[in-house]
Chains A and B, each alone.
Chain A
Amino acid sequence: MRTLLLAFQGELTKAWSLRSTWWSLVLATAMSIGLSALIGLGLRDGRLSDRNTWDPVRYGYFGLTIGLIVLVVFGVMLVSGEFTSGTIRASLAAVPRRGVFLTAKVLAGTAIALVVSVVCGLGAFLATQPVLGDRGTTLGEPGVPRAVLGACLFMALMAVFAMGVAAMLRSTALCLGIMIPILFLNSQGMANLPAIRPVTQFLPDQAGLVLMQSVQQPPGSVGHTDFGWGGALLVLLAWTLAALAGGFVSIRRLDP
């Protein structure tokens, strides 16, 4: 336990001593809040597709997706940086038990990602809702706090998911090349094809959309899934745990 605690402190120190940590987290926050508010300006009077029901929380979170990309990059680089820089050799000499090392790293990364996600999720909500004017909402409305919490959890879980994937693949470029299409292009494309919708609705970004909804979307619209908020949370947890499990299996077999 003491070993894990010391390793955790080391990982926090390690994360904060890189400039890339600072700029990625600042950028994630600025993008999430700034872009959400900016897009909100365009939405306050604009029309949406007829099939979708207006949802102030979800539509107020468009910018969050961009912030999420940056937060995912942070999660990937936190882990892949060990391998690309060779630091992994020093890390494992200092913390030779692979499981303890990765646990400490993921815990440190999760703690940071969680704080940033709450700042982004809550900040974007508070900045965007007044911009939406009459179409906006408040934390007092039913379903809204849960959707805001969902947005925060979505961001944090995807950052942790990224850490697990990076522990498996160990290459920054490979990780981002795989994760960005899965996480972000899906909503615009594949997920809307009715034929494959029963499968693609389980992809992380679709579950994430459900988590940040305060209004249930009708069948056939973007954001409608066969599962609700709780189901979406389970789907995301499953993705995250699977990636972490893969990371742990991979790191145990590692000879850096």
Chain B
Amino acid sequence: MIEVDGLSKRYGGTVAVDDLSFTVRPGRVTGFLGPNGAGKSTTMRMMLDLDRPSGGRVRIDGRRYRDLDRPLLRVGALLEARSTHGGRSARQHLRWLARTNGIGEARVRAVLDQVGLADTGHRRTKGFSLGMGQRLGLAAALLGDPPVLLLDEPVNGLDPEGIVWLRALVRGLAAEGRTVLVSSHLMSEMALTAEHLVVIAHGRLLADTTVDEFVAEYAGSHVRITTPSPERLRAVLTSAGIRVGEGDGGVIEAHGVGADRVGELVAANGVVVHEIGARTASLEEAFMRLTGGERT
């Protein structure tokens, strides 16, 4: 469990993280969502004591990170910024990390296998692609078999196959009862991986809720109707007390109503329609709505 309590970080006059409080619980994937520059990476770095908070605190299973004995056995982290020396091979990088925390050589082999670097582990990381670098970062995070995992933008640089693999890995780790925090600026990715969401923008907490509740609350579902006589349809819907909007390409959107009711109304009034479709808005739209469309 990770507890963030009143966490703040200022760089000079710029506020990167502003009085942030939330809890990441074990057994589920928590998505840490926000636009680029929202303060996600800074928050995760403060969790690892890599950045000093200007205020507030972080506790991991009740303790400060720097007070953890052999921390790699407690917390595994994939950071966004590069943290390997190009002159070392993947295996050598994992080997020195393992030594610092008294982790045996068998784990080095196991995690190289697990992330699919068994055949390239002897190569110097200088020649690694972004995706291979991410896999090595994941191997480092998994090295101590830790109950808490912090993954900052883990899908960055992964190919489609790698992304599918990562989703399964992350969900599997949570299913084993681990605390898993995954940051992303991609809503669609979070929709597929996370069960719980912590949403921030400008360093402030916007939402701390389940994915389903988040969509229900912020997305606003509606019915989309395509018609050759939009004026008439508008009049029919409005007189029935339905809020009407206009979507892309002249599509009429009816809010707060089901497709069945819309169908009955157009039939009763003899309006010609070409298409009626119920639309459940996406996490992406919910996010856009919540952040006021500031992400472009």
Contacts and interface: CB of A to CB of B under 8 A. Distances in A.
B97 A94 contact: yes
B99 interface: yes
Interface of A: 2-3, 6-7, 9-11, 13-14, 17-20, 81, 85-97, 255-256
**Interface of chain A: mostly helix, strand, loop or mixed:** helix
Most buried by A among B50, B84, B86, B96: B96
A10 to B, nearest CB: 3
A255 B51 contact: yes
Contacts, number: 88
Given A3-B69, A17-B88, A255-B51, A90 B83 contact: yes
Given A17-B92, A87-B83, A9 B100 contact: yes
Given A17-B88, A19-B87, A93-B71, A10 B50 contact: no
Contacts of A20: 87
Given A6-B99, A6-B101, A10-B97, A18 B50 contact: no
A5 B45 CA distance: 26
B55 interface: no
Contact of A94 (B51, B82, B89, B100): B100
B110 to A, nearest CB: 18
A85 B86 CA distance: 7
Query: Which 4 interchain pairs have the tightest Cβ spacing?
Result: A10-B100, A17-B92, A96-B66, A85-B85
B100 A89 contact: no
A85 B85 CA distance: 5
Nearest to B80: A89
A96 B65 contact: yes
Contacts of B113: none
**Interface of chain B: mostly helix, strand, loop or mixed:** loop
Interface in B48-102: 48-52, 65-66, 68-72, 77, 79, 81-89, 92-93, 95-97, 99-102
A10 B108 CA distance: 14
Contacts of A90: 79, 83-84, 93, 97, 140
Contacts of B89: 17
Contacts of A18: 85, 87-88
Nearest to A15: B96
Contacts of A95: 100
Contacts of B70: 3, 6
Most buried by B among A3, A13, A93, A255: A93
A86 B83 contact: yes
B160 to A, nearest CB: 27
Contacts of A85: 82, 84-87
Nearest to B141: A93
27 contacts: A10-B97, A10-B99, A13-B99, A17-B88, A17-B93, A17-B95, A20-B87, A81-B85, A85-B85, A85-B87, A86-B83, A87-B84, A87-B85, A89-B81, A90-B97, A92-B49, A93-B77, A93-B79, A94-B71, A94-B72, A94-B100, A95-B100, A96-B71, A97-B66, A255-B45, A255-B52, A256-B50
Contacts of B82: 85-86
A76 to B, nearest CB: 15
